[in-house]
Amino acid sequence: MKKIAIIGSGITALARAWELQKCGHMVTVLERSNQVGGSICSCREGAYLAEEGPNSIQVNSYEVDAFLKSIPGFSEHALYASVDAKKRFILKAGLPRTVPMSLLSAVTTKLWSPTGKLALLKKLLIPTSNPGIEESIADFSRRRLGNELYEYAINPMVGGIYAGDPESLSLRYAFPKIHALEKRRNILLVAALDVILAARKKNKPRFKKRILSFKNGLLELPQLLAKALGESVKTGVCLESIGRNQDKWVINWNDHEHSYDQVILTTPAHSLSKLPLEPSLHNALEFLGAIDYPPVSVLNIAFKRSQVSHPLDGFGLLVPECERRSILGVLFPSSIFQHRTPEGDVLLTIFVGGNRQPELATPDTEELLRLVLPEIGEILGIKDSPCFIHHKYWDKSIPQYNLGYGQFLKQIKDVEKKFSGLQIMGNYRDGISLSNCIEQAIRS
């Protein structure tokens, strides 16, 4: 049994703590703020529920599913996405177009032109060798899927996931599974079939992906984990020093000295330099401050159903860069989950800024509304003003796995080797989604 301190209480920290506690280790989670969850922040205001950060978690593996089900109270509190919210929209020529989800709908869709579809088919079937250099997502997509598919599928998707710029994001680090696919076979379609057949051979049924949240929002997930961890989770902690003494880690917090076998840092990369680390560790981690986190504004607004002419019959709408709009995308939370608004209202969550247009994210709610309301009104056919407004400005939102990101990952490993008993974890390591963070916690 080891005594382990975990700094931060985002999903990575709490998931790792739960895994370690299940194995019998003595864990202490040290969180600066008075609330657990980090980027996960759900705000209930009367009957409205606004998510300031992540809206939902996509459970995409048996591992993550089993982890979630191991949390006491999970099954009673989990809320699965409505089957009616499967549809996704992409804006084209000012109109929301349905994203094809089957082969037949891909053939008939108006989202892509016949030329674009033909180009895609050719590119999927023609053998192409890897250029041998680290490629951006934009370069890879244009090369392997064609320009139109890049503009009206990949570009908006990257805006929706990373709030990122596909010209700067590295395919290898931001989408490692697709990168691996290309390395597997030089015909993309054959590579994809190869993966499906390999999975079949293992005789493991394919995991049916599910999207979930909770009645009172995603914050219930870290709260359930914190409840399960009990006294091990300390919030409102003031860290005074983190250093080593022979083979132990010594942490001073809240005016007391504590000794641990291991310490796990899970704070965002940009805030590592603000931790009271011993000078040699502080210097070794300084380089992580260069990881790019663009600003994002997240606006939750509600309307009476009768004010909105679009049926909002889906998950949400993504906006390609070439459409030259101010918003990155909009989610339809009241169509995805119950308990988001009073009866008869609809809720929209709108994202602005990111690396596409960082200058548009602003802490000024009035300025943001002046920008967003006319645009969203035109796209979704909305009349008059919203009946509920909740805005969160993130000056540093999501880490960008840009070209050359491997240098950060290599240096993290070097630091861990140099400082024994130290582990560095979080969404800047093995993927940004909540599922990625949980997988990292399970596999570490």
Ligand X SMILES: Cc1cc2nc3c(=O)[nH]c(=O)nc-3n(C[C@H](O)[C@H](O)[C@H](O)COP(=O)(O)OP(=O)(O)OC[C@H]3O[C@@H](n4cnc5c(N)ncnc54)[C@H](O)[C@@H]3O)c2cc1C
**8 Å CB contact between 217 and 37:** no
Query: Is 273 in contact with 289 (CB distance < 8 Å)?
Result: yes
Question: Measured from the CB of residue 56, what is the shortest distance to ligand X in angstroms?
Answer: 5
146 versus 426: smaller Cβ distance to ligand X = 426
Using only C-alpha atoms, what is the Rg of the chain? 23
Kindly tell me which of 149 and 336 has the beta carbon lying closer to ligand X. Answer: 336
For ligand X, the closer CB: 188 or 291: 291
Least Å distance, CB 352 to ligand X, is 11
**Interacting residues of 239 by C-beta distance below 8 A, sequence separation 6+:** 7, 30, 32, 251, 252, 253, 275, 276
* Residue spans of beta strands (DSSP E) within 193-285: 210-214, 233-234, 239-245, 248-253, 256-260, 262-265
**Beta carbon nearer to ligand X, 7 or 78:** 7
Please, what sign has the CA dihedral across residues 85, 87, 91, 96? Answer: negative
Which among 373, 328, 286, 287 has a CA at the least distance from the CA of 163?
328
The burial class, CB within 10 Å (0-12 / 13-18 / 19+), for 370 is exposed
**Closer by beta carbon to ligand X, 267 or else 402:** 267
Place of tokens 């889906």: 314
HSE (side-chain half, CA atoms, 13 Å) at 135: 20
The least distance separating ligand X from the CB of residue 193, rounded to whole angstroms, comes to 28
For the bound state, the minimum distance from the C-beta of residue 245 to ligand X, rounded and expressed in Å, comes to: 20
Judged by beta carbon, residue 273 or residue 411, the one nearer ligand X is 273
- Give the shortest CB-437-to-ligand X separation in angstroms: 5
* DSSP code per residue over 335-384: HHSSSSSSTTEEEEEEEEETTTSGGG--S-HHHHHHHHHHHHHHHHTB-S
Instruction: Please say whether the beta carbons of 361 and 295 come within 8 A.
Output: yes
**Which residues of this chain interact with ligand X, rule CB under 6 A?**
7-13, 30-33, 38-40, 53-57, 239, 266-268, 271, 274-275, 296, 298, 394, 397-398, 426-427, 432-434, 437
9 in Cβ contact with 38 (< 8 Å): yes
Residue with Cβ nearer ligand X (59 or 376): 59
Q: Token pair of 235, please?
A: 């919030």
**Nearer of residues 53 and 164 to ligand X, judged by Cβ:** 53
Q: Residue 44 in contact with residue 217, Cβ under 8 Å?
A: yes
Least distance CB 354 / ligand X (angstroms):
9
Closer to ligand X at the Cβ: 99 or 398?
A: 398
Measured from the CB of residue 244, what is the shortest distance to ligand X in angstroms? 18
Shortest distance, position 318 Cβ to ligand X, whole Å:
13
Minimum distance of ligand X from residue 154's CB (angstroms): 18
Tell me how far apart the alpha carbons of residues 306 and 339 are, in angstroms, rounded to a whole number. Answer: 19
